Amino acid sequence: MMQINSDSSTNKHSLINVMHRFIAAANNMDETIMVPSLLRDLPLDEQACSQGEANNNEPPCSNKQRDMYEHYLLLKSIKNDMEWGLLRREMSSGASFLEMAVKQEEQQPVTGALPLDDNADLERQFHYHLRGLFGVLSKLTLQADHLTSRYKREIGGGNFMR
């Protein structure tokens, strides 16, 4: 039977710890945001929207996630997919934001992508996707933390919470 090295769980750069940090940030976000509907119509990025309003040529808040509420749902959906896997969602026939994004990427031709059917270089493919996963999880963790702090600011500093 294979033993798992306990040093990998204490390494702050391990995939497991990056995943745990994102899930902890998403759980903190979920525990802090008691009334998610208050996030509706709040722009995700304060600075981008104030600049968009100043420039009449660009529509204000033209992010992929139009408001904080949609971004909150996206982060929760990704966390649930990580914890429960995609099989559960397929069985309930619901599509997550993550799955829709993956389907869109698959439909678009990508130049410079790794050949998926080439089994000769699986290690290179693994490292390519691992780097991508690290990057995405790190960004998602920062976004969950940012959303939580923005919610606290919008509600009134969060003095009454915790």
Q: Does residue 139 belong to any structural domain of this protein?
A: yes
Q: Quote the number of domains for the chain.
A: 1
Sorting pLDDT into bands at 50, 70 and 90, what band is 6? low
| Mean pLDDT, the chain, integer | 75
Q: Does residue 1 belong to any structural domain of this protein?
A: no
Q: Does residue 6 belong to any structural domain of this protein?
A: no
Say whether pLDDT at 154 is over 70: yes
Greater confidence (78 vs 50) lies with 78
Q: Does residue 8 belong to any structural domain of this protein?
A: no
| DSSP state string for the chain | -PPPPTHHHH-TTSHHHHHHHHHHHHHHHHHH-S-GGGGTT--S-HHHHHHHHH-TTS-TT--SS-SHHHHHHHHHHHHHHHHH-HHHHHHTT---HHHHHHHHHHHS--TTPPPTT-GGGHHHHHHHHHHHHHHHHHHHHHHHHHHHHHHHHHHTTTTT--
What is the structure's pLDDT at 156?
A: 72
Q: Does residue 45 belong to any structural domain of this protein?
A: yes
What is the structure's pLDDT at 105?
A: 56
Q: What is the pLDDT of residues 54-89, one digit of tens each?
A: 444 444 444 454 789 999 999 999 999 999 887 665
Q: Does residue 3 belong to any structural domain of this protein?
A: no
What is the structure's pLDDT at 13?
A: 81
List the domain range (segments joined by +) for residue 141. 13-107+120-155
Q: Does residue 129 belong to any structural domain of this protein?
A: yes
Q: Does residue 92 belong to any structural domain of this protein?
A: yes
